[in-house]
Chain A
């Protein structure tokens, strides 16, 4: 197999801001989102949902609903749940414990919004009418709402989980670590709280399931990040053979982790589809999405760090507690542990200790959201700024003394995480230079003298991307040069805005030496595209690059072999560019890909000996390392109006090292989107519950997403340290949502430090900020700086 050499038309497209191939259809409203799918005779589903956080279900009377014209069926747990054969997610494996996931609530409802019955009708309008007529006899029970007290609440969310504990890892703090804390010059200790917020993609969840009775085939259109996972899960769930299920996703309208795993509602639709005479469509509405699609981020940590006299970190400890809701998907303990393991971050930390505990509550289940473990960065970076103020060192200087330099790598963090190929200090300095930190501090002093509160905050993190674990470890590509010489490339994809079509086309065009317009891609169709774990865990860039590399290498060899034979030249003298194979030094001597394809497909007798017919290959890439580490620094400046508590973000800078970039637009776009989600999480978004477990923010009037009027211009700095993966690429999708919240919190805290305000709790809406300012004044607290 030949290496990618200069003999191919080099890298024309990779690394450049190629306009997206998805845009033509999306800009003109011709995308195919799941609600755009219509099937003959299609029926519509609507869920009846619990209005109680916890209640016994004594009975469901659907008679009035069934009498409504246009209603086909009303299913309850008794109708559907027995249809479940196996329930487990491929990523987790068969052996990982699963928490209860009854498709429909069985016997007891466990959160407001818990689906109790499924109505099937001619239209969504009628289905909603019918769902109001379903009479459920509830006997309310005392709910467990606050995760902080869940372990000792007395009531159980699930009968088989005493203390409402989903899982825990608690080991006593090693004596040597305790000793460090006992003797250190400085110890800083805080409890950091983050509130519940969620992915909230603009497109809600949705699925269409169509059974073809005679052939036993099932076709599913799904708003998903992982079409093959939908297929696998469905096959297990229904006890159907995997090869007769086809899952298609063309366009998914945002996901951010919410659409990786099959959810309970989707399970219900799969089960119900086996019992209705036509395709069954369920499109979630926004209220359902905010109430029941799952929540994230609600967690807290008792965190402490020990420093020597000069501010060098000696030890870091986190005791982490996570609210898993009633029905977490998937089992939250595995990924939640990352919040503890990564707490030391990209810093030189000799010793660490941690514990982690995950508890059930009668609220929406925890689901993955962009950087699900990001609490580690929030807690660490906020604590570092607090420590800097208390020790009396500038926050930036404290980072300088402790951030890992690239020459210290590989470095294993005190919890065993093996960092490599990252540039924490260098990237940090890059970001600070972009800000011109010294000038900002001067401007801040002037502003303070004028009675204005401005501040700067930074955050620096290291992120595991492109995991080599389980079904994430490989990615396949099928690549075909058609008889005309045009190229098709098929990968599993799973893009919900990640631009994987564009990046795969760029890479393929480069790899085969063709013009980008001569490459087409189809993704996300299990009948066409090879197995892939989907777009999750910041894996798509690196993994599809590897898949394209593997497949294109085979095709390139073939093109070269056929051309050399045809042109009577040596194999090493053949160059590929612009869909043409030519002889180096005599460019006029060449043969186009169309001609080569004709030979390969129609005149196999004329092929060189040993070269099989056709120009199509499927190949699979296995990532070279267990993790491809990436790092970034966020720097944010802000002004706080203490009369109202309003925060205005002034400058926002991200310097990141995701390795070389396939398409800088795509990288920056991913960073921007994640950053604004992080900003939203600090200043605007709160999936709040009242004391009875009623969700308070169930519409966009109360769940506030940032708009264009609230967000700053984001400035980007790029450091490019190659990874050991294909092309040297690393993942980048999740970073914005990891780095932004601490940078914003630290900026606000820096702005309010003269008032004696310490911030350890989110969200930071305007009323919370005013409360902090008023409390600090009432406490007569001295300025922290």
Chain B
């Protein structure tokens, strides 16, 4: 079927490719851009491991076709923290609070939490848990993740990337 030319910015870099319409944004990022930090845990929009920012909004990249993201600005986990490895405040908080074990769900959480704190700087504990409910983790039991978000929010972090 007809391939389509797409142009989008990923982590500040312009990417151009000719793709099948059915190629998901997740696969575009992983395969065409070689940014494998975005993970596929379910491919049907429940687990959140594939979460990226599209024009600043946290979305499940497995539920977006690359062609739909033409012209968009996409931020993946590789665009969070500094290029020389300095962690963002959210990433540091997760590390401090033992908020990851296998790390497979982690990029999705980092992106989701960054967007959430940016938009909700003073969340209640309940609001934190509800905001996290769109990302699944099987290793941590969420204990360290909730603590990390609480810690980052209390320190006044607004999800800076």
Note whether A and B contact each other (Cβ less than 8 A): yes
Residues of A within 8 A of B (CB): 17, 19-20, 22-31, 33, 35-36, 38, 125, 200-204, 251-254, 256, 283, 285-286, 496-499, 665-666, 668-669, 672-677, 699-701, 705, 707-711, 713-714, 736
Q: Which of A27, A252, A674 sits near B94, CB closer than 8 Å?
A: A27
Contact string against A for B residues 68-98, beta-carbon threshold 8 Å, 1 for contact and 0 otherwise: 0000000011101100010100010011101
Partner of A707, one of B23, B42, B81, B136: B136
Give per-residue flags for B85-124: 1 if the beta carbon is below 8 A from chain A beta carbons, else 0: 1010001001110101111111100100000000000000
Dominant SS at the A interface? loop
- Could you write out 27 A-B pairs with CB less than 8 Å apart? A23-B94, A26-B106, A28-B77, A28-B80, A29-B37, A29-B76, A36-B36, A200-B138, A201-B102, A202-B47, A202-B102, A203-B39, A251-B104, A254-B102, A254-B104, A256-B138, A286-B47, A665-B98, A665-B144, A666-B98, A672-B140, A672-B143, A699-B42, A707-B133, A708-B142, A711-B141, A713-B146
For A29, the chain B residues whose CB sits under 8 A away are 35-38, 76-78, 106-107
The one of A200, A201, A708 in contact with B145, judged by C-beta atoms closer than 8 angstroms, is A708
Whether B42 lies near A286 (C-beta < 8 A) is: yes
Contacts of B132 in A (CB 8 A): 707-709
How far does the Cβ of B144 sit from chain A's closest Cβ, in whole Å? 7
B129 near A: Cβ within 8 Å? yes
Shortest distance between the CB of B24 and any CB in chain A (Å): 10
Whether A668 contacts B143 in the complex (CB less than 8 A), given A699-B46, A708-B132, A708-B133, comes out as yes
In the bound complex, do residue A700 and residue B96 qualify as a contact, i.e. CB atoms below 8 Å apart? no
Are B41 and A202 touching (Cβ within 8 A)? yes
Interface residues on B, range: 35 or more
User: A202 CB to closest chain B CB, in angstroms?
Assistant: 4
B41-75 contact mask (Cβ, 8 Å, vs A): 1 or 0: 11110110100000000000000000000000000
Interface of B is mostly: loop
Chain B hits for A700, CB < 8 A:
42, 44, 46-47, 136
Encode contact with A along B126-142: 1 for CB under 8 Å, 0 otherwise. Answer: 00111011111111111
B94 — nearest CB in chain A belongs to which residue?
A27
Name the residue on B nearest A25 (C-beta): B103
Question: Which of chain A's residues has its CB closest to B110's CB?
Answer: A27
Measured between beta carbons, the chain A residues less than 8 angstroms from B135 are 707-708
Flag whether B3 is at the interface (Cβ < 8 A).
no
Q: How far is A252 from B80 in the complex, measured between Cα atoms in Å?
A: 22
The residue from A200, A204, A669 contacting B98, defined by CB atoms under 8 A apart: A669
Q: Out of A17, A497, A708, which one reaches B139, CB within 8 Å?
A: A497
A682 to B144, CA, bound (A): 22
Write the nearest CB–CB distance from A49 to chain B, whole angstroms. Answer: 16
10 closest pairs, A vs B, by CB? Answer: A29-B37, A26-B103, A253-B104, A497-B102, A497-B101, A672-B141, A29-B77, A676-B141, A700-B46, A708-B132
- The answer to whether the Cβ of B20 comes within 8 Å of any Cβ in the partner chain is yes
* Nearest CB of chain A from residue B40's CB, rounded to whole Å: 7
Neighbouring B residues of A496 by C-beta, 8 Å = 102
Could you say which residues of chain B place their CB within 8 Å of the CB of A27?
81, 87, 91, 94-95, 100, 103, 106, 110
Q: How far is the CB of A673 from chain B (nearest CB, A)?
A: 5
The distance in angstroms between the C-alpha atoms of A444 and B34, with both chains bound, is 56
Contact yes or no, B104 A33, CB < 8 A:
yes
Measured in the bound complex, the distance between the Cα atoms of B79 and A444 in whole Å is 50
Q: Evaluate contact between B81 and A28: CB separation under 8 angstroms.
A: yes
CA gap between A736 and B76 in the complex, in Å: 33
A653 to B100, CA, bound (A): 21
* Shortest distance from the beta carbon of A281 to any chain B beta carbon, whole Å: 12
Alpha-carbon gap, A52 to B140, bound state (A): 36
A110 → chain B closest CB, angstroms: 26
Q: Which of A23, A202, A251, A675 contacts B141 (CB 8 A)?
A: A675
Is B37 touching A28 in the complex (CB atoms < 8 A)? yes
**Min CB gap A737→B, angstroms:** 11
Q: In the complex, what distance in Å separates the CA atom of A713 from the CA atom of B146?
A: 9
Chain A residues contacting B144 (CB-CB under 8 Å) are 665, 669, 672
In the bound complex, residues from chain A placing their C-beta under 8 Å from that of B36 are 29, 33, 35-36
Chain A: minimal CB distance from B136 (Å)? 5
Across the interface, B142 reaches (CB within 8 A) one of A20, A252, A666, A711, namely A711
A710 cross-chain contacts in B, Cβ below 8 A: 133
Chain B residues within an 8 Å CB radius of A36: 30, 36
B102 and A253 form a contact (CB under 8 A)? yes
Contact residues in A for B35 (Cβ distance below 8 Å): 29
